[in-house]
Structure 1
Amino acid sequence: MNEKTGQVVIILLIVFSLQRGWAEETMNLSLDKAIEIALENNLNIKQAQETITIGEAKVGKVKSEWYPNLTLGLGSGCNEILNLPGESQTFEFLGQTYEIKPPLSFQWSNTLSLRLTQNIYTGGRLRGSSKGVRAEFEARRKGYEVVKNNLILQVKKAYWELARADLLVRLSGETVDHHRQILELAGLRLSQGTIAPIEVEQARVNLVNEEDNLIQTQNRRRELEDELKALLEIEFEAGIVPIDEPSSSASPRIDIDEAINNGLKRRVELLKLRKELQAGEGALMVARSGRYPHLALRASYNWAGSNKNYKDAWKDLKESSWEVGLSLSYSIFDGHLTKNKIKEAESNLKIAEYALLKKEKEIVKEIRNACSKLILSRRRIEKTGKNVDLAEENSRIARLQFKMGAITSNEVNNYQVVLSQARTKHIEALIDYEIARAELEWAMGETR
């Protein structure tokens, strides 16, 4: 064993020892379980849930304006009162002049009032506000669904990418085992004098190259595993082993037109934008309310009491006044404020309409692309599967020929390279199919 081979073996031992340590805390994870964990732990989901709570609060704030507003007012003050009448007198003491005023005392004056205000007509402001916040609340709920669906798609893609890495690590390990066997056979044939020493060295080089490829594949797997852990919000010390296998069964026929129709009906992004459009209509109603008078009912009832003693002043409270009336306000000139508010609301409404049309076109494009990728992946699975069968048979025959001395180790390696490439392409096709199916489900609004 040369120095380079020894270094590679040491690295492999370190990697395998780390893997054994991680295996103590591995999690066999299905795709459905991964999605469940993500929906429970992911911070983006929690943030989206809080936005729904904010929407509920805004609805409650607007609803409060429909109800009477009753307020209680308390007032308390201290007044100076004159006890004895008389004029001020002055006298001098030590060169200073002093003034004596009549004796004074203080009196407490307390008041109690109840005020009632009820909006009767606001020119459509309350109806517009109510319509706007309710639509905004529904848009927030749809926004939560958007975040949820996007997270599910991300988890699916990350899960299948990790499954792809697992399959490639397994394939790379099998290739390393193959090259070890070829190296052993080459050493045996060299001892028998049937091959030249250079063939043994070539087999050793091939083994080292595959061991290096295995290390790189394992590192890539760990990177993908960490990406999935970040989506699931779980500890990075725990290892994840995806247990779902990619499907190789034939997919049902895809009707692109039907898929597009379903997507335009189900995609929550469109539902969210439609609610935002309704919220814009409500904002326009609020802006236009500035053109109309506002009418409100106002009533108040007041009590007042006074006494030198603070507590007695409250006991002496007596009815002092009351009033009931209507309050009408109408803006004659506001510096074109209402006009500009209406102009702004109308432009925002048009922007919402354009955003809805734009998203519909994007969804059609996404569904078409997802359908094309799914169909292409299905064809690749069929073709690469046949290629794997042929490459496996060729590799089996080549190994038998090498054992009999009919071909060199380099020729065996060439067949093995072809087999590894065929298996890699088949794995790629299987995983690409699962990702394409997940993307199509997402594009059509079917996320689970």
Structure 2
Amino acid sequence: MKIKILFFLNTAVFYFCLSAYAVSSEMKILSVQDAVNTALANNHDYKIAELKLKQADEKVKAVWGELFPVLESEAALTRQSAEKGFMSLSDGQVDIKLVQLKFGINPGIFYNSLQLSRKSYVASKEEVRRIRAETEFAVIKSYFSLILAEEMIALRKESIDLLKSNVKDVQNMYSTGSIPKFDLLQAKVQLNSQQPLLLESENNYRTALDLFNYILGSTETFKADLSILEKNIQKVSDEDINKKIEILTSAALKNRPELIQIEKNIQASQHKGNIYDSYYLWPTFSAGGYYGMTKSDPNSIDTGISGPFAPDFSQLSGDDQWQNNWQVRVAATYRWGSLFGADSNRSFSKEADLSVKQNQEELLKLKRLISINISSGYSKLITSGLTIASQKENVETAEEGVRIARESFRAGVIKNSELLTSEFALTSAKTGYINAINSYYTALAELKKETGLTDYSIIFEKVN
């Protein structure tokens, strides 16, 4: 009685899972490349990186803009008072500078600022590549994890169908007295044990589906295209593995975005230090001038002399008429105070030097890590490729084994336990095959990310 109740409950769960799976089958199907494109279009980090790249480009333009002089106009009112001296000759004046030009440049500061902005731009460009590669890898990994989860559901359903057929055969043979009741109970237990596994596969599928669509960042819900499993995988050569790993590692050291970023950060820190050193290595050249008009507010000067012989001091104190004026000034300023260690620029320069050393250590650490990851990733790719071929043969062998075992059981040649063993072997072979395909595509995507390349061609090239 308990077995019947358990069988009924598991069957109810099974049909509930089937209904949920049917709903999922109505979702839109995406290819791998479409999934990558969708994720990139919706990825916030990728959008932020692109905006920062534009910002870095504007900083380069801003440095070039320092070569353009400042052009402006100015109007000023000056009021003053003094008992004696030159300032006592006037209560103030009105100045209008129609055109005023200002320009100043330190050659060392300008050059290193320009190089700093350029290195920062390249680093921002590599950041876009880095996020793109990580997004692509995350999409591919979740894509094939979703396929794996969906195939496990189909595999569990297939196992249940086989076990149901087995229970039916055992029931008929038990009714005729050909086998003991123990075999019937064993067959039912094996069938019931598959129901929780199906439920677990359904839960794994829903989790994988949620993660996949989270990475896509779309408001719609998509699922993977299972037809990719029908495609033949591209074989990876297992000849001269060490030489191949050296080639891939060399490519990674030239193309990996993170390495290029650190290298550019080192160069940027060097130029940043040179900027502060330029304060005492180079003078600052400046030029300026203006053209305008001035109107004074002169005070009368009492000399005690009147008449035609009274002296005219308007050349000194000015008059209340508008006068044209202009000025040109050229200068070179040397900031020798920066030669002293107490000057803040010396500390800023040392800080930049320390940043260079930090980045150099990061570079060495990352290079070693990349070498390890390349070696591990390529080995995984070779192993998964060989496993696919091996498991494919195992599936075919196990399917033939199940067919023979079923006929032998019906003929009374073997026991039911031996039939169940053959069915379990088939399930294990198919599970291994699906896992191998998942491992292959995941390892391939990871190896592409580690090398920093845009395609897979170098991975499949044969070593000469």
Query: TM (normalized to structure 2)?
Result: 0.81
Using the aligned pairs only, state the percent identity.
25
Report if the CA contact (8 A) 1:299-1:323 is conserved: yes
| Structure with the higher fraction of residues in strand conformation | 1
Using the alignment, how far apart are the partners of 1:354 and 1:15 within structure 2? 53
Structure 1 residues without counterparts, runs of 5 or longer: 80-107, 308-315
> 2:277 corresponds to which residue?
288
Using the alignment, how far apart are the partners of 1:319 and 1:272 within structure 2? 59
**Does 2:172 correspond to 1:188?**
yes
Report if the CA contact (8 A) 1:31-1:156 is conserved: yes
3-state SS of the aligned residue for 1:195?
coil
> 2:383 corresponds to which residue?
376
**Does 2:107 correspond to 1:117?**
no
Question: 1:275 corresponds to which letter in structure 2?
Answer: K
**Does 2:438 correspond to 1:431?**
yes
Using the alignment, how far apart are the partners of 1:430 and 1:266 within structure 2? 27
Shift of 1:408: 3.2
Using the alignment, how far apart are the partners of 2:79 and 2:19 within structure 1? 85
TM-superposition CA deviations, 1:342-368 (whole Å, max 9, x none): 212222222233333332222222211
Report if the CA contact (8 A) 1:380-1:429 is conserved: yes
Name the Cα RMSD after superposition: 2.7
> 2:310 corresponds to which residue?
none
Using the alignment, how far apart are the partners of 1:251 and 1:168 within structure 2? 26
Question: 2:276 corresponds to which letter in structure 1?
Answer: A
Per the alignment, do residues 242 and 75 of structure 1 end up closer, same or farther by CA in structure 2, a change over 3 Å counting?
farther
3-state SS of the aligned residue for 1:398?
helix
> 1:91 corresponds to which residue?
none
Using the alignment, how far apart are the partners of 1:282 and 1:13 within structure 2? 68
Shift of 1:217: 0.9
Shift of 1:110: 5.8
Question: 1:18 corresponds to which letter in structure 2?
Answer: A
Shift of 1:132: 0.3
Shift of 1:262: 2.0
> 1:59 corresponds to which residue?
60
Structure 2 residues without counterparts, runs of 5 or longer: 81-91, 298-319, 456-464
Using the alignment, how far apart are the partners of 1:418 and 1:153 within structure 2? 33
Question: 1:164 corresponds to which letter in structure 2?
Answer: L
**Does 2:122 correspond to 1:170?**
no
Question: 2:346 corresponds to which letter in structure 1?
Answer: K
> 1:297 corresponds to which residue?
287
> 2:326 corresponds to which residue?
322
Question: 1:326 corresponds to which letter in structure 2?
Answer: V
> 2:83 corresponds to which residue?
none
Using the alignment, how far apart are the partners of 1:398 and 1:251 within structure 2? 36
Question: 1:231 corresponds to which letter in structure 2?
Answer: I
Among 235, 247, 251, the alignment partner of 1:250 is 235
Shift of 1:271: 2.4
Report if the CA contact (8 A) 2:31-2:224 is conserved: no
When structure 1 is superposed on structure 2, of 40-49 and 5-14 the one drifting more is 5-14
Question: 1:56 corresponds to which letter in structure 2?
Answer: D
Question: 1:279 corresponds to which letter in structure 2?
Answer: A
The count of corresponding residues between Structure 1 and Structure 2 is 412
Using the alignment, how far apart are the partners of 1:252 and 1:42 within structure 2? 35
Question: 1:12 corresponds to which letter in structure 2?
Answer: F
Using the alignment, how far apart are the partners of 1:354 and 1:393 within structure 2? 58
Which runs of structure 2 are paired with 1:230-241 in the superposition (5 Å)? 230-235=214-219, 237-241=221-225
Using the alignment, how far apart are the partners of 1:288 and 1:380 within structure 2? 60
Using the alignment, how far apart are the partners of 1:241 and 1:305 within structure 2? 83
Report if the CA contact (8 A) 2:147-2:224 is conserved: no
Using the alignment, how far apart are the partners of 1:446 and 1:338 within structure 2? 41
Report if the CA contact (8 A) 2:163-2:187 is conserved: yes
Report if the CA contact (8 A) 2:30-2:223 is conserved: no
Which runs of structure 2 are paired with 1:14-413 in the superposition (5 Å)? 14-24=16-26, 26-75=27-76, 111-113=95-97, 114-120=99-105, 122-235=106-219, 237-245=221-229, 247-253=232-238, 255-292=244-281, 293-304=283-294, 318-319=322-323, 321-333=325-337, 335-413=342-420
TM-superposition CA deviations, 1:190-231 (whole Å, max 9, x none): 222222333223222211211221111121012112111111
